Amino acid sequence: METTPHSQDRRSLGGVILASAIVSALLVGVLAYSATNAAFTGVTGNTGNTFEAATVSLTDDDFGGTNFQVTDMIPGDTVTDCIEVEYTGSTTDLAGLRLYGASSGDLADDLDLNVRHGAAGSSCAAPGALTGVYSGDLDALGTDWATGSAGFTPTATNETVAYVFDVTLKATTTDAAQGDTASADFTWEVRSN
């Protein structure tokens, strides 16, 4: 079969028509897609969010010092001292505050300890009405959070409470205790819920 210039032109023309039809179909599809997705839009954002953990902390007015330095006690003697404990944490979602300690020495079981606290905002100068925290032998005071005595639970940041300590050499202490000594460390601990 012989090819004439007209048959080549027809083939070329057929290819052009086919290509034009494909391009037209694609263009119609794009326009139809754009038309169906045409809409008004609005967007808002919220940026710069930050998060910080709460703090739970206590301070006291003894500045790491000692409240009691007592010598020459005789049976029946009582010494009293006070310490102010301040809650300085940022959260008030607290499980409570506990007092506990550690004591040592032969005289520890001959000493009675009575600890009471004032109301919120109390001070050693004006402790107000006192609530009992612990009363018993010095060497029987709890030694950790679990065995400690419940104290005042703060309800606000920078809340101060006075803790009054009475330490008595029992009237029943015998001559065998002469010259004996005891030492004690007291700890307040507060925990969040």
Q: What's the pLDDT tens digit per position in 150-193?
A: 989 999 999 999 999 999 999 999 999 999 999 999 999 999 99
User: How buried is 174 (Cβ within 10 angstroms: 0-12 exposed, 13-18 middle, 19+ buried)?
Assistant: exposed
pLDDT of residue 167: 97
Same domain, 24 and 107: no
The span from the CA of 70 to the CA of 37, in Å, is 88
pTM of the model: 0.76
Whether the per-residue pLDDT at 36 is higher than 90: the answer is: no
Instruction: Report yes or no on 42 lying in a domain.
Output: no
Total tally of structural domains belonging to the chain: 2
* Coarse DSSP helix, strand, coil percentages of the chain, rounded to the nearest 5 percent: 20, 30, 45
Same domain, 5 and 90: no
Strands in 94-104's sheet, in edge-to-edge order, are 149-150, 94-104, 183-192
pLDDT of residue 67: 86
Instruction: Report yes or no on 94 lying in a domain.
Output: yes
Domain of 153, CATH number, reads 2.60.120
Q: What is the percentage of the chain residues whose pLDDT exceeds 90?
A: 74
Expressed as residue numbers, the domain containing 77 is 58-192
Amino acid at 146: A
Same domain, 93 and 128: yes
Same domain, 120 and 186: yes
Instruction: Report yes or no on 140 lying in a domain.
Output: yes
Mean pLDDT of the region 118-129: 94
Helices (H), the chain: 5-36
Q: Are 186 and 167 in contact (CB under 8 A)?
A: no
Q: What is the percentage of the chain residues whose pLDDT exceeds 70?
A: 82
Instruction: Report yes or no on 101 lying in a domain.
Output: yes
Instruction: Report yes or no on 180 lying in a domain.
Output: yes
Which residues does residue 136 pair with via DSSP β-bridges, in sequence order? 113
Whether the per-residue pLDDT at 6 is higher than 60: the answer is: no
Same domain, 137 and 170: yes
